[in-house]
Structure 1
Amino acid sequence: MKKVVMLVMLFLCLTMGMAYANGQVENAATTGPIEIKLAHENAVDQPIHRYSQLFADKVNQYTEGRVHITVYPAGQLGNMTDLTTNVSLGLMDMCIIDNSNLINYIPEYSMPSLPMMITSWDQAEKVFDSDMVAKLNERMASEYNIRILDWWWNGFRNMCSSKPIYKIADFKGVKFRSPGLDNYLTMFNLLGAKPTVIPWGETFSGFQTGIVDGMETTTEAIYSQSFYTLGKYIIMTRHLFSSNAPVINEKLWESIPERDRVLMQKAMDEATSDLRKEVISSEADYIKKLNNSGNVVIELQDKDKLVSIFTPYWNEFAKKNNCEDFLKFIIECGK
C-alpha cells in the first residue's frame, strides 16, 4: 500500500512538473483567471495610469475574465528600475517603463530620448512603430525576458523654473532636478546647468525646499503634479521626447493561451491609439492652463541652437554603442 501511495505521488509530481515546464495554463473555468499585476510610477490622475486601467478593463472584457489584471500605480510596488529588473527575473508580471531606462539592457532604446533627437509627433511614430524597433523588441524578449507590448507617448518635456530663462546662456548655474541617467545629466551639463539627482517621488519637496531651482517633465505633469506652483517660469524647450513601454515577463506571456494573447494585444493596441491621441491633443490645453495660472510661458530666443549643441553627443553615443545606423534612421525619420 505504501508503495502504491508513493507511486501515485510521484506520478502527480511529474504531471505537475511537465505542465509547468511546458508553460501551460489551465482553462479559467476550472482553475480561475490568470492573475497579473501591472505596476507603474505615475500618479492616478495621469494618462499612464488611466490607460493602464483601460487596458486592464479591456483585457478582462475581451478574455471574458480568463485573464485579470490589477493595476498598482504611484510606485506602490517599487521604482521603475526595480520593476524592470523584477519583470526580467520573473518576480513581477508587468510594468510601465521609460524607454531611456532600458539603456543598461539595449542601449539603442535610449537613442530616441537623447536631447533634441525627436522633435515631432510624426517622427516619433515613424521611429517607434518601425521594423528596426520591432527587431529590438524581439531582442529584448529573447535576451532579457522582457516582452514590449507597445509604445505609449508621455510627451515632449519642458522646463519649470523659479528663475527666468530666456536664452541658453541663462541656464548657467541653475540647479535642475535630474534622474541619474546619462542622457539627462549630459544634457544639463551641455546647457551649463547644474543637474542634481533626486528620485522622482522627492522632486516636489526638493523643488519646494530649494534643493533645486527647477525641474523638467511634460507640460501635463508640470500642471497635474502642481510643479507650476513652485516655478513661475515655464520654458518651452521640448528638449526631450519621453515614451513609455508596457512590458510583460516573456515566460508569463508565452504561458498564456494564444487566443488570450491575441485579445490582450488587441486591448493594448486600442489603449495605445487612444493614449497617443490624448497626449497629442492635450499638449496645447496644458500650455493654456499654465498661462491662465499666472505662469510665464517662455520660448527660448535661441532655441534653434539646441540641436547643434547636442549633435556631437548624438554621434558620440552612437559610436560608443555601435548604433550609427539607428542614429541615421532616426534623423531620416525627422526629415
Structure 2
Amino acid sequence: MALPASAQTAIKIAHPNVPDHPMGQAFSYFEELVESRSNGEFEVDVYHSSQFGNFDSVVQGLQTGMLQMGSASTPNLAPFSNDFLIFDMPFLFPSYEAADMITDGPIGRTAAQALSETGIIGLGYIDIGFRHIFNNKRSVETISDLEGLKIRSTPSSAHIATLELLGINPTPISWNEVYTALQQGTVDGIDIDLNLAWFNNFHEVNKNLTLVRSLYSPHLVMISQNFYDSLDPNDQIMISEAFAEMKLYQRKLIRENEEMIIGEMEKAGVNIVELSEEERAEWAAATQGVYDQFEDEVGSDLIERARATMTE
C-alpha cells in the first residue's frame, strides 16, 4: 500500500524536452521505476518542456532544494569545467559506442565531478545525438553547397566556429523561437540531431537534410547533493540503479529512432543526403581550426586522451 501523500518524499525533475522525445519517455520510465521500487515512498514529478525554466533556473532549483533532479546539455555546463568542452569538438566522435567510452569513462566522470563544489552531483549522461544540417534553401551534397547558408546555432563558441569554418553563417536563436524562425525564413536551417528535429516538427519547415554527424551532444542528469545525502543508503542505491536503467533505455530509444525518423522524413518529402566517407573527411578537415582555436581551453592532453580512449 502506498504511503499517505504527506509521508511521501518528493522528487521534482526538470528537463527541456517534450514528453514524446526519448528524454521525456526516459524520465517517465525513471518515475515508474522509483515509485514502484519504493512502494510509493517517493513521488516523482517531472517538469518537461522547460516548464521549470532555463538552465540557470534548473541549477538554482537544485541548489535551493526546489528541484531534486534535472538535466542539462554539456555546452551549458562548460562554465563549471572546461572538460565539458570536449563535446564541442567537431568530428571527434566516430560513433555512439565511442561516445559511450567518453561519457561513461574517466573523462566524463571527471567533468561531472566539477559540479560537486556547487552542491550538485552528476549522475551520468544520456543522449541527444549527432548533429546534422537541415535547411530549406537547397540540397547540400558537398561542402561548397554550405556557402552563405544562415543556420541556427547554439551560443557555444566552438559550435559557432565549426559552422563558420564550413562556410555557414551561424545565427544563435533561443530554443523557443526556433520553429518560428525556420518557418518565417529568419534562418535557412538548423544544425541539430534527428530526434530533436523530429519531435519538434522541424521537418515541416526544412525540406533538405544532410546527414553529417559533426558534433555529438549528450545531456548530464544531475541530482541535488543535499537531497541525495538526506536519503537512506538503500534509497541512494535504488535511485542510482533506476537512473542506470533509465540511461540505457533512453540511449536505446535515441539510437533506434534514427532509422525510423529518416524514413518518416522521406515520406514527408524531405530530401535526404548522406555524406560519403570522403566528403565527411573533407568537412572534418575544414573544421580542424576549431581545435587550434580552443586548444588552450579544452587542453590538447584531454583531446589526445579522448582519441586514445576511443581507439582502445
Aligned partner of 1:325 among 277, 301, 306 = 301
Which residue does 2:256 correspond to in 1?
281
Give runs of aligned pairs for residues 175-186 of structure 1, distance below 5 A. Answer: 175-186=150-161
Which residue does 1:304 correspond to in 2?
281
Aligned partner of 1:109 among 77, 84, 101 = 84
> Is residue 122 of structure 2 the alignment partner of residue 148 of structure 1?
yes
The answer (yes or no) to whether the contact 1:112–1:330 under 8 Å persists in 2 is: no
Tell me how far 1:29 sits from its aligned partner. Answer: 7.8
Distance 1:41 1:138 in 2: 22
Tell me how far 1:89 sits from its aligned partner. Answer: 4.9
Distance 2:9 2:89 in 1: 38
What amino acid is the match of 2:122?
Answer: I
The answer (yes or no) to whether the contact 1:40–1:80 under 8 Å persists in 2 is: no
Between 178-187 and 231-240, report the one with greater CA deviation.
Answer: 178-187
Q: What is the TM-score when the length of structure 1 is the normalising length?
A: 0.86
> Is residue 237 of structure 2 the alignment partner of residue 268 of structure 1?
no
> Is residue 197 of structure 2 the alignment partner of residue 222 of structure 1?
yes
Give runs of aligned pairs for residues 63-142 of structure 1, distance below 5 A. Answer: 63-141=38-116
Which residue does 1:7 correspond to in 2?
none
Which residue does 1:4 correspond to in 2?
none
Residues 146, 51 of structure 1: alpha-carbon distance in 2 compared, 3 angstrom cutoff: same
The answer (yes or no) to whether the contact 1:118–1:240 under 8 Å persists in 2 is: yes
Which residue does 1:334 correspond to in 2?
310
Distance 1:86 1:30 in 2: 22
Tell me how far 1:30 sits from its aligned partner. Answer: 11
Which residue does 2:137 correspond to in 1?
163
- Identity, in percent, stands at 22
Aligned partner of 2:35 among 52, 60, 72 = 60
The answer (yes or no) to whether the contact 1:38–1:69 under 8 Å persists in 2 is: yes
Between 176-185 and 226-235, report the one with greater CA deviation.
Answer: 176-185
Which residue does 2:17 correspond to in 1?
42
The answer (yes or no) to whether the contact 1:235–1:300 under 8 Å persists in 2 is: yes
The answer (yes or no) to whether the contact 2:18–2:199 under 8 Å persists in 1 is: no
Tell me how far 1:261 sits from its aligned partner. Answer: 0.8
Tell me how far 1:312 sits from its aligned partner. Answer: 3.1
Tell me how far 1:132 sits from its aligned partner. Answer: 3.0
Q: CA RMSD in A?
A: 1.9
Distance 1:93 1:226 in 2: 30
Larger Rg: 1
Tell me how far 1:112 sits from its aligned partner. Answer: 2.1
Equivalent pairs counted in the alignment come to 306
The answer (yes or no) to whether the contact 2:153–2:173 under 8 Å persists in 1 is: yes
Q: Mind listing any 5+ residue stretches in structure 1 that lack a counterpart?
A: 1-27
